[in-house]
Structure 1
Amino acid sequence: MKRAAIAAAALALALTGCSAADPEPTADGTVSQDTFLTTHGLAAMDAVEIIDHLDRQKVTERPTDLIASVRADELLLSSDDQEVVVDLPDNQTYVSVAPYITSTHDCFYHSLTTCLGELDNEDIQVTITDEATGEVLIDEQTTTFDNGFVGFWLPDDATGTIEITHQGRTGVTEFSTTEDGATCVTDLRLT
Protein backbone atom coordinates (compact mmCIF):
# COMPACT_ATOMS: atom_id res chain seq x y z
CA MET A 1 0.00 0.00 0.00
CA LYS A 2 2.78 2.41 1.02
CA ARG A 3 4.81 1.63 -2.10
CA ALA A 4 1.75 2.10 -4.32
CA ALA A 5 1.20 5.53 -2.78
CA ILE A 6 4.84 6.44 -3.33
CA ALA A 7 4.69 5.29 -6.94
CA ALA A 8 1.55 7.38 -7.48
CA ALA A 9 3.24 10.41 -5.93
CA ALA A 10 6.32 9.84 -8.06
CA LEU A 11 4.17 9.76 -11.17
CA ALA A 12 2.52 13.02 -10.16
CA LEU A 13 5.91 14.65 -9.54
CA ALA A 14 7.56 13.45 -12.74
CA LEU A 15 8.12 16.23 -15.24
CA THR A 16 7.65 15.90 -18.97
CA GLY A 17 10.49 16.45 -21.41
CA CYS A 18 13.45 14.46 -22.62
CA SER A 19 13.58 11.13 -20.84
CA ALA A 20 15.00 7.68 -21.33
CA ALA A 21 12.88 5.05 -23.02
CA ASP A 22 10.63 3.08 -20.69
CA PRO A 23 12.24 -0.13 -19.40
CA GLU A 24 10.89 -3.34 -20.89
CA PRO A 25 8.56 -5.03 -18.39
CA THR A 26 8.89 -8.68 -17.44
CA ALA A 27 6.07 -11.19 -17.96
CA ASP A 28 4.43 -10.13 -14.69
CA GLY A 29 4.53 -6.43 -15.65
CA THR A 30 7.49 -5.49 -13.46
CA VAL A 31 10.90 -4.43 -14.64
CA SER A 32 14.16 -6.04 -13.56
CA GLN A 33 16.45 -4.05 -11.30
CA ASP A 34 19.30 -4.26 -13.83
CA THR A 35 17.10 -2.99 -16.66
CA PHE A 36 15.73 -0.16 -14.53
CA LEU A 37 19.20 0.94 -13.38
CA THR A 38 20.58 0.76 -16.91
CA THR A 39 17.69 2.85 -18.25
CA HIS A 40 18.46 5.56 -15.69
CA GLY A 41 22.25 5.59 -16.15
CA LEU A 42 22.91 3.77 -12.88
CA ALA A 43 24.06 0.41 -14.26
CA ALA A 44 26.50 -1.62 -12.15
CA MET A 45 26.11 0.75 -9.18
CA ASP A 46 25.22 -0.46 -5.69
CA ALA A 47 23.09 1.59 -3.28
CA VAL A 48 26.07 3.53 -1.88
CA GLU A 49 27.25 4.50 -5.36
CA ILE A 50 23.75 5.44 -6.54
CA ILE A 51 23.14 7.61 -3.48
CA ASP A 52 26.54 9.28 -3.77
CA HIS A 53 26.04 9.92 -7.50
CA LEU A 54 22.52 11.35 -7.21
CA ASP A 55 23.04 13.41 -4.03
CA ARG A 56 26.19 15.06 -5.41
CA GLN A 57 24.71 15.73 -8.84
CA LYS A 58 24.33 19.35 -9.94
CA VAL A 59 20.72 20.46 -9.48
CA THR A 60 20.51 21.45 -13.15
CA GLU A 61 21.59 17.93 -14.16
CA ARG A 62 19.13 16.02 -11.95
CA PRO A 63 16.93 13.51 -13.75
CA THR A 64 13.34 14.68 -14.08
CA ASP A 65 11.99 11.19 -14.70
CA LEU A 66 13.35 9.50 -11.56
CA ILE A 67 12.38 9.69 -7.90
CA ALA A 68 14.99 8.28 -5.49
CA SER A 69 13.93 8.04 -1.85
CA VAL A 70 16.37 6.97 0.88
CA ARG A 71 14.78 4.84 3.61
CA ALA A 72 16.38 3.43 6.76
CA ASP A 73 17.37 0.16 5.09
CA GLU A 74 16.68 0.59 1.37
CA LEU A 75 16.77 2.94 -1.59
CA LEU A 76 13.42 3.18 -3.37
CA LEU A 77 13.70 4.18 -7.05
CA SER A 78 10.62 4.92 -9.15
CA SER A 79 9.88 6.22 -12.60
CA ASP A 80 6.49 6.37 -14.27
CA ASP A 81 4.78 3.15 -13.16
CA GLN A 82 8.01 1.21 -12.47
CA GLU A 83 9.69 0.81 -9.09
CA VAL A 84 12.75 -1.01 -7.78
CA VAL A 85 14.29 -1.35 -4.34
CA VAL A 86 18.04 -1.49 -3.72
CA ASP A 87 19.15 -2.67 -0.28
CA LEU A 88 21.47 -0.46 1.75
CA PRO A 89 24.63 -1.95 3.28
CA ASP A 90 24.10 -3.97 6.45
CA ASN A 91 24.33 -1.98 9.68
CA GLN A 92 24.47 1.42 7.96
CA THR A 93 21.95 4.19 7.27
CA TYR A 94 22.40 7.25 5.08
CA VAL A 95 21.40 10.50 6.77
CA SER A 96 21.31 13.67 4.71
CA VAL A 97 21.33 17.07 6.44
CA ALA A 98 20.36 20.49 5.06
CA PRO A 99 21.43 23.20 7.51
CA TYR A 100 19.61 26.49 7.06
CA ILE A 101 19.53 30.10 8.21
CA THR A 102 16.19 31.46 6.95
CA SER A 103 14.23 28.80 5.05
CA THR A 104 13.72 25.04 5.11
CA HIS A 105 11.12 22.40 4.26
CA ASP A 106 9.59 19.43 6.06
CA CYS A 107 11.19 16.16 5.10
CA PHE A 108 11.43 12.64 6.50
CA TYR A 109 12.84 10.42 3.73
CA HIS A 110 15.53 12.18 1.72
CA SER A 111 14.73 12.49 -1.97
CA LEU A 112 17.96 12.47 -3.95
CA THR A 113 16.29 14.01 -7.00
CA THR A 114 13.87 16.58 -5.58
CA CYS A 115 15.03 17.84 -2.14
CA LEU A 116 16.64 21.28 -2.06
CA GLY A 117 18.29 22.98 0.91
CA GLU A 118 19.12 26.65 1.41
CA LEU A 119 22.92 26.50 1.72
CA ASP A 120 24.28 25.00 -1.48
CA ASN A 121 28.03 24.62 -2.06
CA GLU A 122 28.93 26.11 1.34
CA ASP A 123 31.82 25.12 3.63
CA ILE A 124 30.63 23.74 6.97
CA GLN A 125 32.08 21.98 10.03
CA VAL A 126 30.09 18.87 11.03
CA THR A 127 30.23 16.92 14.29
CA ILE A 128 27.93 13.92 14.77
CA THR A 129 27.92 12.27 18.19
CA ASP A 130 26.29 9.03 19.38
CA GLU A 131 24.51 9.88 22.64
CA ALA A 132 24.59 6.35 24.06
CA THR A 133 28.35 5.90 23.78
CA GLY A 134 29.56 9.50 23.55
CA GLU A 135 31.52 8.45 20.46
CA VAL A 136 32.11 11.12 17.85
CA LEU A 137 31.01 9.44 14.61
CA ILE A 138 31.85 12.34 12.27
CA ASP A 139 34.10 15.34 12.86
CA GLU A 140 35.02 17.01 9.60
CA GLN A 141 35.12 20.14 7.52
CA THR A 142 33.10 19.56 4.34
CA THR A 143 31.09 21.35 1.66
CA THR A 144 27.35 21.03 1.12
CA PHE A 145 26.30 19.57 -2.20
CA ASP A 146 24.70 21.63 -4.97
CA ASN A 147 21.30 20.61 -3.54
CA GLY A 148 22.12 22.20 -0.15
CA PHE A 149 22.50 18.85 1.64
CA VAL A 150 25.43 16.87 2.94
CA GLY A 151 25.13 13.14 3.63
CA PHE A 152 26.77 10.67 5.99
CA TRP A 153 26.74 6.89 6.42
CA LEU A 154 26.03 6.23 10.09
CA PRO A 155 25.68 3.00 12.08
CA ASP A 156 22.18 1.53 12.44
CA ASP A 157 20.32 1.95 15.72
CA ALA A 158 22.24 5.07 16.76
CA THR A 159 20.76 8.23 18.22
CA GLY A 160 22.54 11.43 19.00
CA THR A 161 23.24 14.95 17.85
CA ILE A 162 24.38 16.68 14.70
CA GLU A 163 26.20 19.99 15.17
CA ILE A 164 27.04 22.20 12.19
CA THR A 165 28.98 25.46 12.12
CA HIS A 166 29.03 27.84 9.15
CA GLN A 167 30.46 31.38 9.06
CA GLY A 168 30.24 31.88 12.82
CA ARG A 169 26.75 30.40 13.14
CA THR A 170 26.09 27.06 14.84
CA GLY A 171 23.10 24.75 15.02
CA VAL A 172 22.40 21.45 16.73
CA THR A 173 19.66 18.88 16.17
CA GLU A 174 18.99 15.26 17.02
CA PHE A 175 19.17 12.27 14.70
CA SER A 176 18.17 8.62 14.85
CA THR A 177 19.12 5.73 12.59
CA THR A 178 16.60 3.38 14.14
CA GLU A 179 14.10 1.68 11.83
CA ASP A 180 11.66 4.60 12.16
CA GLY A 181 14.32 7.33 11.99
CA ALA A 182 14.41 10.10 9.40
CA THR A 183 16.96 10.01 6.60
CA CYS A 184 16.34 13.69 5.81
CA VAL A 185 17.25 16.24 8.48
CA THR A 186 16.01 19.74 7.67
CA ASP A 187 15.48 21.21 11.17
CA LEU A 188 19.10 22.25 11.85
CA ARG A 189 18.94 26.04 12.01
CA LEU A 190 22.17 27.99 12.20
CA THR A 191 21.97 30.94 14.61
Structure 2
Amino acid sequence: MTSLSRRTMIGGGLGLFGSTVLVACSPTIPDTGSVGTAEALDPRARQLLAAHGIEASTAEDAVTAMDQVSQRRPLALTGSVGYDQVAFADDSDHVTVPLTSGQFYLSMAPYRTQKHESHYHNLGGCQGELTDTPIHVTVTTDAGVTLLDEDANTGTNGFTGFWIPRDHTGTVTATETTASTPFNSGPDGPTCLTTLHLV
Protein backbone atom coordinates (compact mmCIF):
# COMPACT_ATOMS: atom_id res chain seq x y z
CA MET A 1 0.00 0.00 0.00
CA THR A 2 1.09 3.55 0.59
CA SER A 3 1.62 6.10 3.30
CA LEU A 4 -1.83 7.43 2.47
CA SER A 5 -4.74 6.06 4.43
CA ARG A 6 -7.36 4.19 2.40
CA ARG A 7 -9.95 6.41 4.13
CA THR A 8 -9.75 10.14 3.72
CA MET A 9 -11.12 12.61 6.18
CA ILE A 10 -14.60 13.96 5.56
CA GLY A 11 -15.02 16.08 2.78
CA GLY A 12 -19.15 19.94 -7.51
CA GLY A 13 -18.66 22.36 -9.49
CA LEU A 14 -16.75 23.07 -12.65
CA GLY A 15 -13.25 21.75 -12.96
CA LEU A 16 -10.32 24.06 -13.55
CA PHE A 17 -8.56 21.75 -15.95
CA GLY A 18 -10.11 22.91 -19.19
CA SER A 19 -8.85 20.85 -22.09
CA THR A 20 -5.67 19.72 -20.31
CA VAL A 21 -7.32 17.04 -18.18
CA LEU A 22 -8.76 14.79 -19.71
CA VAL A 23 -18.40 -2.99 -5.25
CA ALA A 24 -18.18 -7.54 -2.52
CA CYS A 25 -16.16 -10.71 -2.17
CA SER A 26 -12.50 -10.33 -1.24
CA PRO A 27 -11.62 -8.49 1.98
CA THR A 28 -8.32 -7.20 0.64
CA ILE A 29 -7.26 -4.43 -1.71
CA PRO A 30 -5.51 -5.77 -4.80
CA ASP A 31 -1.86 -4.95 -5.45
CA THR A 32 -2.15 -2.70 -8.50
CA GLY A 33 1.58 -2.18 -8.74
CA SER A 34 1.07 1.55 -9.30
CA VAL A 35 0.56 2.80 -5.74
CA GLY A 36 3.54 4.60 -4.31
CA THR A 37 4.58 7.32 -1.90
CA ALA A 38 3.17 10.78 -2.51
CA GLU A 39 5.77 13.41 -3.37
CA ALA A 40 6.25 16.68 -1.50
CA LEU A 41 3.83 19.44 -2.44
CA ASP A 42 5.06 22.19 -4.75
CA PRO A 43 6.08 25.25 -2.65
CA ARG A 44 3.86 27.59 -4.66
CA ALA A 45 0.83 25.38 -4.04
CA ARG A 46 1.75 25.11 -0.36
CA GLN A 47 1.88 28.91 -0.11
CA LEU A 48 -1.49 29.30 -1.85
CA LEU A 49 -3.12 26.76 0.47
CA ALA A 50 -1.53 28.27 3.58
CA ALA A 51 -3.01 31.66 2.66
CA HIS A 52 -6.40 30.01 3.16
CA GLY A 53 -5.47 28.21 6.40
CA ILE A 54 -4.75 24.80 4.86
CA GLU A 55 -1.49 23.08 5.79
CA ALA A 56 -0.40 20.08 3.73
CA SER A 57 2.84 18.31 2.85
CA THR A 58 1.60 16.49 -0.29
CA ALA A 59 -1.06 17.15 -2.91
CA GLU A 60 -3.01 14.18 -1.56
CA ASP A 61 -2.90 15.65 1.96
CA ALA A 62 -4.08 18.98 0.53
CA VAL A 63 -7.08 17.33 -1.15
CA THR A 64 -8.01 15.56 2.07
CA ALA A 65 -7.58 18.68 4.22
CA MET A 66 -9.52 20.93 1.88
CA ASP A 67 -12.43 18.49 1.65
CA GLN A 68 -12.59 18.62 5.47
CA VAL A 69 -13.00 22.40 5.70
CA SER A 70 -16.10 22.86 7.84
CA GLN A 71 -17.73 25.64 5.84
CA ARG A 72 -20.52 25.45 3.31
CA ARG A 73 -19.37 25.89 -0.25
CA PRO A 74 -18.34 27.93 -2.17
CA LEU A 75 -15.01 28.79 -0.55
CA ALA A 76 -12.61 31.55 -1.62
CA LEU A 77 -10.17 28.80 -2.70
CA THR A 78 -11.15 26.20 -5.30
CA GLY A 79 -9.55 22.81 -5.86
CA SER A 80 -10.58 20.76 -8.89
CA VAL A 81 -9.55 17.10 -8.56
CA GLY A 82 -8.82 15.00 -11.64
CA TYR A 83 -7.43 11.54 -12.32
CA ASP A 84 -3.80 12.39 -11.59
CA GLN A 85 -3.69 16.11 -10.74
CA VAL A 86 -5.46 18.80 -8.75
CA ALA A 87 -5.80 22.48 -9.65
CA PHE A 88 -5.97 25.05 -6.85
CA ALA A 89 -7.00 28.66 -7.47
CA ASP A 90 -8.20 31.83 -5.82
CA ASP A 91 -8.67 35.36 -7.14
CA SER A 92 -4.93 35.98 -7.29
CA ASP A 93 -3.21 32.70 -8.15
CA HIS A 94 -3.65 29.33 -9.86
CA VAL A 95 -1.45 26.25 -9.61
CA THR A 96 -1.89 22.68 -10.85
CA VAL A 97 0.03 19.89 -9.11
CA PRO A 98 0.29 16.15 -9.79
CA LEU A 99 -1.20 13.45 -7.58
CA THR A 100 1.81 11.16 -7.30
CA SER A 101 0.69 8.32 -5.01
CA GLY A 102 -1.01 6.35 -7.79
CA GLN A 103 -4.37 6.59 -6.05
CA PHE A 104 -7.68 8.02 -7.25
CA TYR A 105 -9.78 10.40 -5.12
CA LEU A 106 -13.45 9.41 -5.14
CA SER A 107 -15.67 11.91 -3.34
CA MET A 108 -19.36 11.11 -3.08
CA ALA A 109 -22.48 13.07 -2.17
CA PRO A 110 -25.48 10.85 -1.43
CA TYR A 111 -28.80 12.64 -1.86
CA ARG A 112 -32.52 12.23 -1.31
CA THR A 113 -34.18 15.04 -3.26
CA GLN A 114 -31.53 17.36 -4.71
CA LYS A 115 -28.81 15.90 -6.94
CA HIS A 116 -25.54 17.79 -7.33
CA GLU A 117 -24.26 17.84 -10.93
CA SER A 118 -20.49 17.56 -11.37
CA HIS A 119 -17.75 15.39 -12.87
CA TYR A 120 -14.50 16.62 -11.34
CA HIS A 121 -14.87 17.21 -7.61
CA ASN A 122 -14.30 20.86 -6.71
CA LEU A 123 -13.12 20.92 -3.11
CA GLY A 124 -14.09 24.56 -2.73
CA GLY A 125 -17.23 24.59 -4.86
CA CYS A 126 -19.18 21.33 -4.58
CA GLN A 127 -22.05 21.42 -2.09
CA GLY A 128 -24.14 18.30 -1.56
CA GLU A 129 -27.60 18.03 -0.04
CA LEU A 130 -26.98 15.74 2.95
CA THR A 131 -24.59 17.37 5.40
CA ASP A 132 -23.21 15.69 8.53
CA THR A 133 -25.01 12.44 7.69
CA PRO A 134 -23.78 8.98 8.76
CA ILE A 135 -23.57 6.40 5.98
CA HIS A 136 -21.87 3.07 5.36
CA VAL A 137 -19.87 2.86 2.13
CA THR A 138 -18.77 -0.24 0.22
CA VAL A 139 -16.68 -0.03 -2.95
CA THR A 140 -16.34 -3.28 -4.91
CA THR A 141 -14.61 -3.85 -8.25
CA ASP A 142 -16.20 -5.64 -11.19
CA ALA A 143 -13.85 -8.52 -10.35
CA GLY A 144 -15.50 -8.85 -6.93
CA VAL A 145 -12.68 -7.30 -4.88
CA THR A 146 -13.78 -5.11 -1.96
CA LEU A 147 -11.71 -1.91 -1.96
CA LEU A 148 -13.38 -0.54 1.15
CA ASP A 149 -16.21 -1.32 3.54
CA GLU A 150 -16.47 1.45 6.12
CA ASP A 151 -18.69 3.73 8.15
CA ALA A 152 -18.40 7.38 7.15
CA ASN A 153 -20.04 10.75 7.60
CA THR A 154 -20.69 13.42 5.02
CA GLY A 155 -19.14 16.75 5.94
CA THR A 156 -20.43 20.29 5.91
CA ASN A 157 -20.16 20.16 2.12
CA GLY A 158 -22.33 17.01 1.95
CA PHE A 159 -19.44 14.85 0.65
CA THR A 160 -17.29 12.04 1.96
CA GLY A 161 -14.12 11.07 0.12
CA PHE A 162 -11.85 8.03 -0.22
CA TRP A 163 -8.53 7.25 -1.89
CA ILE A 164 -8.83 4.06 -3.95
CA PRO A 165 -6.51 2.35 -6.47
CA ARG A 166 -6.60 3.82 -9.96
CA ASP A 167 -7.90 2.08 -13.06
CA HIS A 168 -10.74 0.00 -11.66
CA THR A 169 -14.45 -0.09 -12.36
CA GLY A 170 -17.16 -1.46 -10.11
CA THR A 171 -19.95 -0.45 -7.76
CA VAL A 172 -20.28 1.95 -4.86
CA THR A 173 -23.02 1.18 -2.34
CA ALA A 174 -24.09 3.58 0.41
CA THR A 175 -26.46 2.56 3.17
CA GLU A 176 -28.29 4.77 5.59
CA THR A 177 -31.08 3.91 3.42
CA THR A 178 -29.56 2.21 0.35
CA ALA A 179 -28.13 3.42 -2.95
CA SER A 180 -25.75 1.87 -5.47
CA THR A 181 -24.01 3.35 -8.50
CA PRO A 182 -21.12 2.43 -10.80
CA PHE A 183 -17.66 3.99 -10.33
CA ASN A 184 -14.65 4.32 -12.61
CA SER A 185 -11.21 5.23 -11.25
CA GLY A 186 -9.67 5.46 -14.71
CA PRO A 187 -8.52 8.57 -16.59
CA ASP A 188 -12.06 9.53 -17.64
CA GLY A 189 -13.74 8.55 -14.37
CA PRO A 190 -15.59 11.14 -12.27
CA THR A 191 -13.95 12.17 -9.00
CA CYS A 192 -17.31 13.67 -8.02
CA LEU A 193 -19.81 10.84 -7.55
CA THR A 194 -23.28 12.34 -7.23
CA THR A 195 -25.60 9.52 -8.33
CA LEU A 196 -26.16 7.80 -4.95
CA HIS A 197 -29.90 8.34 -4.53
CA LEU A 198 -30.88 7.23 -1.02
CA VAL A 199 -34.48 5.96 -1.01
TM-score (norm: length of structure 2): 0.74
CA distance in 2, matches of 1:150, 1:44: 19
CA distance in 2, matches of 1:164, 1:71: 23
Q: What residue number does 2:54 align with?
A: 42
TM-aligned CA deviation for residue 178 of structure 1: 0.6
Alignment of 1:113 onto 2:124: yes
TM-score (norm: length of structure 1): 0.77
Structure 1 contact 59–146 (Cα < 8 Å) conserved: yes
What residue identity is the alignment partner of 2:85? E
Structure with the greater alpha carbon radius of gyration = 1
Q: What residue number does 1:148 align with?
A: 158
Across the two proteins, how many residue pairs are aligned to each other?
162
Name whichever of 33-42 and 120-129 sits farther off: 33-42
TM-aligned CA deviation for residue 46 of structure 1: 1.2
Instruction: Report SS of the residue matched to 1:36.
Output: helix
| Residues 51 and 44 of structure 1, relative CA distance in 2, 3 Å threshold | closer
Q: Which has the higher helix share?
A: 1
| Residues 3 and 101 of structure 1, relative CA distance in 2, 3 Å threshold | closer
TM-aligned CA deviation for residue 45 of structure 1: 2.6
Q: CA-atom RMSD, angstroms? A: 2.3
TM-aligned CA deviation for residue 89 of structure 1: 3.0
| Percent identical | 38
Note the alpha carbon deviations across 1:84-121, whole angstroms, 9 max, x for none.
11221332010100011111121001011111111111
Structure 1 contact 46–86 (Cα < 8 Å) conserved: no
Listed as ranges, the matches of 1:168-187 within 5 Å are 169-187=177-195
Q: 2:147 aligns with which of 98, 120, 137?
A: 137
Q: Which runs of 4+ in 1 moved over 6 A?
A: none
CA distance in 2, matches of 1:4, 1:150: 22
TM-aligned CA deviation for residue 171 of structure 1: 0.5
Structure 2 gap ranges (5+): 1-14, 20-42
Alignment of 1:79 onto 2:90: yes
Structure 1 gap ranges (5+): 7-30
